[in-house]
Amino acid sequence: MPAGIDLVYPGAPTTYVEALEAGRELRPPRWGLKDVAVAILAALIVPTLVLGFLLAAGAARGGGVVLLVSLALPWVGFGLYPWVATRVQGNGPRVDLGFTLRLSDLGWGIGGGVVATILAGAVAWATEKLFGSFDSAAGNAIESVDAPRWVLYAALVCAVVGAPLFEELCFRGLAFAAIAKWAAQHNIPAVPWATVGSAFLFGAIHLEPVRFPLLFVIGLVLSYLRARTGRVGASVIAHAFNNLIAVSSLLG
């Protein structure tokens, strides 16, 4: 048994386990649930402060700058903070969070994206029967923006590329691993708790109560992919696939 292999916890990413098995000296990860809370708070507070400043300075509420800022600034919390936290308190996002892509992740990601889209469609149908028609806040913002065409395309890139990368780094990376590590320390089934917990946070962070069941189901599929592959790559692909389907109607 390689030195340090006892540092492995149930639900740890394959990259972390493989590095230990290869005899690589790793620092015990000191990041945890508190860092998940900081990441989520940063994703909520930073855009609010910057958007408030822009609007106070006279930026048009429906303008392209405000739209792009509102889409991209949450990445400070979702992407930048998990990267910094794992670099400072561990071994970086690739090792500690499984933030990497392998060829096998492509098949899992596409398959997961199809499943997530089908399940989300079923939940959306049931939700509409109960509450009437609804749309996502991001979709409504992109549709209503009064800006040059390039702003629309930039917003779609944010939705299909940026959001999957950074949200998955936070929820299937940092949150999944932190919950699993915490659960293992308390003798609680780590992978089920991490799967459900990270999916719940993913649904709740969008702050859209009517869409929560739909987002939670998508989150469960994405979290299952993380649990099954031990990496974030497949969930990034599935997330991008799902977002592409969701915004495809805006490309016309």
4, pLDDT greater than 60: no
- Assess contact for 146 and 66: CB atoms under 8 A: no
What pLDDT sits at residue 250?
67
The closest alpha carbon to 191, from 12, 6, 17, belongs to 12
Task: Return the domain boundaries, the chain.
Answer: 5-251
43-52, 56-65, 109-118, 155-164 — most confident range: 109-118
What CA–CA distances, in Å, run from 49 to 1, 38, 159, 205, 210? 50, 16, 21, 17, 26
pTM: 0.93
pLDDT band, residue 60 (cuts 50/70/90): low
CB 93 within 8 A of CB 82: yes
pLDDT > 90? residue 249: no
pLDDT of residue 40: 98
Answer yes or no: is pLDDT of 225 > 80: yes
| Separation CA 134–CA 157 (nearest Å) | 23
**Which pLDDT band, with edges at 50, 70 and 90, does 2 fall under?**
very low
What mean pLDDT value characterizes the chain? 90
Instruction: Round to whole Å and give the CA distance between 221 and 238.
Output: 9
For the segment 176-193, the average pLDDT, to the nearest whole number, is 96
For the stretch 27-44, pLDDT in tens is: 999 999 999 999 999 999
Report the alpha-carbon distance of residue 218 to residue 175 in Å, rounded: 16
What's the pLDDT score for residue 82?
98
